Amino acid sequence: MKQLSLDNLRTFVSVIEQGGYARAGELLGRSQPAISLQIKKLESQLERKLFTKVGQRHVPSSDGNWLYPKAKEILAMNDSIFRSLSPAPLSGRLRLGIPNEFASTLLPGLIGEFSSRYPDVSLEVTSSLSRDLLSPGNRDNFDMILALVNPLNDTDGELVVEDDMVWVGDPNRPYLGDTISLVLAPDGCMYRSRVIEALKQQTRAWKITYTNADLSGLVAAITQGLGITALAKASLPDNVSVLRHPHLPGLGKVNICLFNQAARHPVVGKTLADFIKSRLR
């Protein structure tokens, strides 16, 4: 069965509406010979002459005038289908809160890829301790929060992944002497409290040698041999390693949860939430 070329039909309609081959070519970004070739192909397929030349002008023939409204209907139906099935461009402003340790690992790739895919969405990102992001006085400042949650605590966040909390350090540096040296985030950090709680259950001596809320600062301290720390396995940077040793107690699990509060931009919020979850799972 013969099938009409929508591209040729669009050129045919443009020639009529623009008043000639040259103007139709300017509209469609094609040369005049290319426009002429498309019209000839359409005429050959239909076995009808669609234009007659009057001076320098191409005037639709009686068959061309008959075809014109039908061609417009076909093109309108085609365009309507694509408009209905193509999502509208995402736009809006979202305020994202993210734990400090994910700012160095998840955030750079996430922001770059998301922003290139959705350039009309403005992301305003704040990194802090999960406890501070979720505090009652601060939580409403964000449209979306990625946070670490103790598995034993009730939460209204969506569980993205249950992760292992692991000991982290530089395996090329001695990390187990008479005293375990620790580099930790400040009070209020879940990692800090979990580490201290676990170490209190055993007899080996330990001390905190360095405190910094920023992951890059902790990693720098680790690579300088100041001590070891604990992190969710999913947030592990490339330049440190998981440490396993009989004298290092288990640290259990940690839940990575997403709190979607993007009521003003629900479609944008869901898109960003799906984007984050796909990177963590």
Each residue of 5-18: pLDDT tens digit? Answer: 888 999 999 899 88
pLDDT digits (tens, 9 = 90+) for 212-241: 988 888 999 999 989 999 999 888 887 888
Lowest mean pLDDT among 135-144, 172-181, 194-203, 268-277: 172-181
Residue 56 lies in a domain: yes
Question: Are residue 208 and residue 107 in the same domain, yes or no?
Answer: yes
- Least Cα distance to 257 among 141, 94, 102, 111 occurs for 102
Q: Which of 85, 101, 118 is the last residue of a domain?
A: 85
pLDDT at 250: 93
Tell me which of 85, 119, 137 is where a domain ends: 85
| Confidence category of residue 142, pLDDT binned at 50, 70, 90 | very high
In this prediction, residue 87 has a pLDDT band, given cuts at 50, 70 and 90, of: low
Same domain as 237, residue 220: yes
Q: Identify whether 130 is part of a domain.
A: yes
Residues 151 and 272 reside in one and the same domain: yes
Q: Which residues contact 264 (CB under 8 A, 6 or more apart)?
A: 92, 143
Judged on CB neighbours under 10 Å (0-12, 13-18, 19+), 279 is middle
**Cα–Cα distance measured from residue 277 to residue 271, given in angstroms and rounded to the nearest whole number:** 10
Determine the pLDDT at residue 2: 80
- The answer on 177 and 118 residing in a single domain is yes
In a domain, 223, yes or no: yes
- Cα(27)–Cα(275) distance, rounded to whole angstroms? 38
Task: State the pLDDT at residue 238.
Answer: 77
Identify the band that residue 82 occupies on the pLDDT scale cut at 50, 70 and 90: confident
User: Does 108 have pLDDT greater than 80?
Assistant: no
From CA 35, how far away is CA 252, in angstroms rounded?
70
> Domain residues for 223?
92-281
Its pTM stands at 0.65
Please check the confidence at residue 279 and state whether its pLDDT lies above 70: yes
Question: What are the tokens at 60?
Answer: 């639709």
Q: 96 with 80, same domain?
A: no
- 103 and 54 co-located in one domain: no
Predicted confidence band at 88 (pLDDT cuts at 50, 70, 90)?
A: low
**Alpha carbon separation from 167 to 36, 52, 200 (Å, rounded):** 72, 82, 16
**For the chain, what is the domain count?**
2
- Tell me, what amino acid is at 80? S
pLDDT for 86? 67
Top pLDDT among 149 and 19 is at 149
What pLDDT, on the 0 to 100 scale, is given for residue 256? 93
Residues 225 and 205 in one domain: yes
User: Do strands 92-99 and 57-60 pair parallel, antiparallel, or not at all (unpaired)?
Assistant: unpaired
- Alpha-carbon distance values, 251 to 104, 190, 196, 245 (Å): 22, 11, 10, 12
8 Å CB contact between 47 and 56: no
The DSSP line for 69-118 is: HHHHHHHHHHHHHHHHHSPPPP-EEEEEEEEHHHHHHTHHHHHHHHHHH-
Residue 20 lies in a domain: yes
Q: Are residues 53 and 108 in the same domain?
A: no
Same domain, 265 and 230: yes
Six-digit token string for 10: 């669009």
Helix (H, G, I), strand (E, B) or coil at 123: strand
> CA angle at residue 265 from 84 to 133, to 5 degrees?
150
* Distance set, CA 133 to CA 104, 122, 205, 281 (Å): 17, 20, 33, 22
Where is the domain boundary, 53, 85, 117?
Answer: 85
Same domain membership, residue 27 and residue 72: yes
Percent of the chain, pLDDT > 90? Answer: 40
Q: Over 80: is that where the pLDDT of 255 sits? A: yes
Query: Is 1 a member of any domain?
Result: no
Mark whether 27 and 157 lie in a shared domain: no
